[in-house]
Structure 1
Amino acid sequence: MNIRIAEELDVPALAELYQTTVLAVAPQHYSPEQTQMWASFASDTDNFQKFILNATTFIATDERGILGFAGITEDGHVTATYVRSDLIRQGIGSILMEKILEYAHLHKIRRLYAEASEFSLGLFQKFGFHIYDTEIVNRQGVLFRRYIVERS
């Protein structure tokens, strides 16, 4: 497996992975309306590109293509952790999270934080993040509960 930083040319493939993963995994924890709203973010080309490129987004690849991605900003915000839906629970998310932690260490980022979903919360907790709050967000009239997690 190789890890590299996302480039503009990667954005369409990352959007497809994001949408496919959300549509496959979210129904285990979220309503159909929530799932569709969440997945639709990948179709918002400009904002999705900013989501990927305004952070340092690491991409895991191998001969099968892109396996997953995870992003972090300079202030320690972990913006994304997504793994291809057919490869979840095979260690790819952990490898990407280790890369995020390595980046934070090298850049002397003392506090990491994220908004975790029901299905990403376990990964964050595995790497020492703890819940310090929850929030309800409204996306075009669709409400979502997110866990605000941090690691110092």
Structure 2
Amino acid sequence: MRIRIAQASDSPELAKLYQETVLAIAPQFYSDAQTHSWASFAEDTAGFREFILSGTTFVAVDETGILGFAGIADDGHILSAYVRRDRIHQGIGSRLMDILLDYAKRHRIQRLYAEASEFSLGLFKRFGFQVYDREIVERQGVEFQRYLVERFTLIP
């Protein structure tokens, strides 16, 4: 597995990975309406491209293609963390999280924070993030609960 920075040309493949993963995994935790509302974001070509390019997004790849991606903004906001549906629980999400933590350390970002879903919360907790609140957000008229998580890093 190789890690590289996402490029604009990756957007269609990342959108497909995002949508297929959400459709495969979300029904374990969310209603059909929530799942389809969440997955439909991939169809917003311009919005999804901005989602990928607004921060630094790392892409995990191998000979089969893109395995996952994770993004971080300069202020420590973790923008994304998705793994291809057929490669979940194979260490790819953990590898990407290691990359984000290293990025934060190199850029002297002391606070990392994110909005975690039901199925990403475990990954964040494994890496020392703590839930500090919950929020309800609305997407296309459908409400979701998300966990607000954060982790502080000591910078020497």
Normalised-by-shorter TM-score class = over 0.9
- Following TM superposition, the consecutive aligned residue runs of length 4 or more in structure 1 with deviations greater than 4 angstroms are none
Look up the SS of the partner of 1:71 in the other structure: strand
1:1-150 to 2 correspondences below 5 Å: 1-150=1-150
What is the distance in 2 between the residues matched to 1:102 and 1:114? 16
Identity %: 66
TM-fit CA distance, 1:138:
0.9
**Structure 2 residues without counterparts, runs of 5 or longer:** none
What is the distance in 2 between the residues matched to 1:146 and 1:14? 22
Look up the SS of the partner of 1:133 in the other structure: strand
What is the distance in 2 between the residues matched to 1:64 and 1:113? 31
Task: Give the letter for the 1:64 counterpart.
Answer: T
Look up the SS of the partner of 1:90 in the other structure: coil
What is the distance in 1 between the residues matched to 2:49 and 2:64? 23
What is the distance in 1 between the residues matched to 2:72 and 2:114? 9
TM-fit CA distance, 1:139:
1.1
Summarize deviations over 1:45-99 as a string: whole Å, max 9, x none: 1110000001100000001110000000000000000000011000000000000
Structure-1-length-normalised TM-score: 0.99
What is the distance in 1 between the residues matched to 2:139 and 2:15? 18
Look up the SS of the partner of 2:128 in the other structure: coil
Look up the SS of the partner of 1:143 in the other structure: strand
TM-fit CA distance, 1:150:
0.1
Summarize deviations over 1:87-146 as a string: whole Å, max 9, x none: 100000000000000000000000000000000000000000000000000112100000
**Structure 1 residues without counterparts, runs of 5 or longer:** none
Structure-2-length-normalised TM-score: 0.97
